[in-house]
A and B are shown apart, each in its own frame.
Chain A
Amino acid sequence: QLQLQESGPGLVKPSETLSLTCTVSGGSISSSSYYWGWIRQPPGKGLEWIGNIYYTGTTYYNSSLRSRVTISVDTSKNQFSLKLSSVTAADTAVYYCARVVRGWYDALDMWGQGTMVTVSS
């Protein structure tokens, strides 16, 4: 059974860089059938797509975050990562990693449990 697990600091200072890693277990990140993505959810609010990556390293970013976001993949570790620079309190959210199924019209079929990241000094 595929599982995704987010990890990283729960507290980040304003203006610094938020860094999270998603570890994929029970399946290969190098499958041509999937993308891998990051989504966030501020407290009490809805879902916001951040970006996706293919195992080849091809990336897709939300245009509103593009200047601050970098998503990378490490196929040897079966992991992909998110870096969000110059964070502010508005970046406080639960961050989810997820799998996108290319054959299912790019729906997100598997999600990590999410990790809360607070931006505060």
Chain B
Amino acid sequence: EIVLTQSPGTLSLSPGERATLSCRASQSVSRSYLAWYQQTPGQAPRLLIWGVSSRATGIPDRFSGSGSGTDFTLTISRLEPEDSAVYYCQHYGSSTWTFGQGTKVEIK
């Protein structure tokens, strides 16, 4: 079973800055079964990115995903106040869905 490790644990940045979130898999991810979610307090997670780099419906283009193998990145190009949230990566493989532990993004 693949384990996903996200870093950093917390990211504190100012509006307009670029945020780079990392998700590292314990084994190489086959094909493109890697997604990213955003969760704000008291809300359900929201799908941002699927298939490593495809934005979900209605997601602003300041969110982008990249990576391959064991290293994946979610980039928020210009932070907005509403981007304050916890971000999770997720993998599907061998009939198992796995989540990373999350990265908290704080807006100063």
Give B contacts to A, CB under 8 Å: 1, 31-35, 37, 39, 44-47, 50-52, 54, 56-57, 88, 90, 92, 95-102
Contacts and interface: CB of A to CB of B under 8 A. Distances in A.
Given A60-B95, A62-B96, A63-B1, A107 B50 contact: yes
Contact-size category for A? 20 to 34
Interface centre among A46, A60, A113 (most CB of B within 10 A): A46
A105 B65 CA distance: 14
A40 to B, nearest CB: 11
A114 B35 CA distance: 20
B96 A105 contact: no
Contacts, number: 70
Nearest to B1: A63
B98 A106 contact: no
B44 A104 contact: no
